[in-house]
Structure 1
Amino acid sequence: MAAQTDKLHIDVWADVACPYCYVGKQRLKTAISRSGHQEEIELELHTFELDATAPKEPAEIASYTAQKMGVSRERALEMDRRVKGMADQDGLPYETERIHANSFDALRLLQLAKQHGVANELMSRLQRSLFSGRRDTYDHAAMTASAVDLGIPEDEVRTVLAGDQFAAQVRRDQQAALRLGATGVPFVVLAGRYGVPGAGTVQSYADAIRTAWENR
Structure 2
Amino acid sequence: MANAGDEPVLVEVWSDLVCPWCYLGTHRLQAAVARRPDAARFEVRIRSFELDPRAQQDPEHILEHLATKYGGSPEQVRAMEARVAALATADGLPFSTERLTASTFDVHRLQHYAAEQGLGTVLFTAVQDGYFAGTLNPFDHDQLVEAAVAVGLEAGRVRTVLGGDAYTEAVRADEDEGRALGATGVPFVVYGRRYATAGAQGVDGFAEVLARLA
Instruction: Give the gaps of 5 or more residues in structure 2.
Output: none
Q: Is the 8 A contact 2:12 2:46 kept in 1?
A: yes
1:155 equivalent in structure 2? 156
Q: How big is the shift at 1:147?
A: 0.9
In the alignment, the residues of structure 2 paired with residue 120 and residue 199 of structure 1 have an alpha-carbon distance, to the nearest angstrom, of 17
Asked if residue 9 in structure 1 is aligned to residue 10 in structure 2, the reply is yes
2:125 equivalent in structure 1? 124
**Corresponding letter in the other structure for 1:172:** A
2:213 equivalent in structure 1? 212
* Off by >4 Å, runs of 4+ in structure 1: none
Q: How many pairs are equivalent?
A: 210
Q: Say which is worse superposed, 46-55 or 113-122, in terms of deviation.
A: 46-55
**C-alpha offsets along residues 75-117 of structure 1, whole Å, 9 cap, x if unaligned?**
1221121111111111111012321111111111001111111
In the alignment, the residues of structure 1 paired with residue 168 and residue 108 of structure 2 have an alpha-carbon distance, to the nearest angstrom, of 8
Could you tell me the TM-score, scaled by structure 2's length? 0.93
Q: Percent of aligned pairs with the same residue?
A: 37
**Corresponding letter in the other structure for 2:37:** G
Q: Is the 8 A contact 2:127 2:136 kept in 1?
A: no
In the alignment, the residues of structure 2 paired with residue 140 and residue 109 of structure 1 have an alpha-carbon distance, to the nearest angstrom, of 11
Q: How big is the shift at 1:134?
A: 3.2
> Once superposed, what is the RMSD of the aligned Cα atoms?
1.5
**C-alpha offsets along residues 24-64 of structure 1, whole Å, 9 cap, x if unaligned?**
00000000001221111122211111122322121110111
Asked if residue 198 in structure 1 is aligned to residue 195 in structure 2, the reply is no
Q: Is the 8 A contact 1:99 1:135 kept in 2?
A: no
Secondary structure of the residue that 2:76 maps to in structure 1? helix
Could you tell me the TM-score, scaled by structure 1's length? 0.93
In the alignment, the residues of structure 1 paired with residue 136 and residue 30 of structure 2 have an alpha-carbon distance, to the nearest angstrom, of 26
Question: What are the equivalent positions in structure 2 for 1:81-160 lying under 5 Å apart?
Answer: 81-134=82-135, 136-160=137-161
Question: What are the equivalent positions in structure 2 for 1:39-78 lying under 5 Å apart?
Answer: 39-78=40-79
**Corresponding letter in the other structure for 1:46:** R
Question: What are the equivalent positions in structure 2 for 1:10-29 lying under 5 Å apart?
Answer: 10-29=11-30
Instruction: Give the gaps of 5 or more residues in structure 1.
Output: none
In the alignment, the residues of structure 2 paired with residue 65 and residue 54 of structure 1 have an alpha-carbon distance, to the nearest angstrom, of 12
In the alignment, the residues of structure 2 paired with residue 75 and residue 19 of structure 1 have an alpha-carbon distance, to the nearest angstrom, of 17
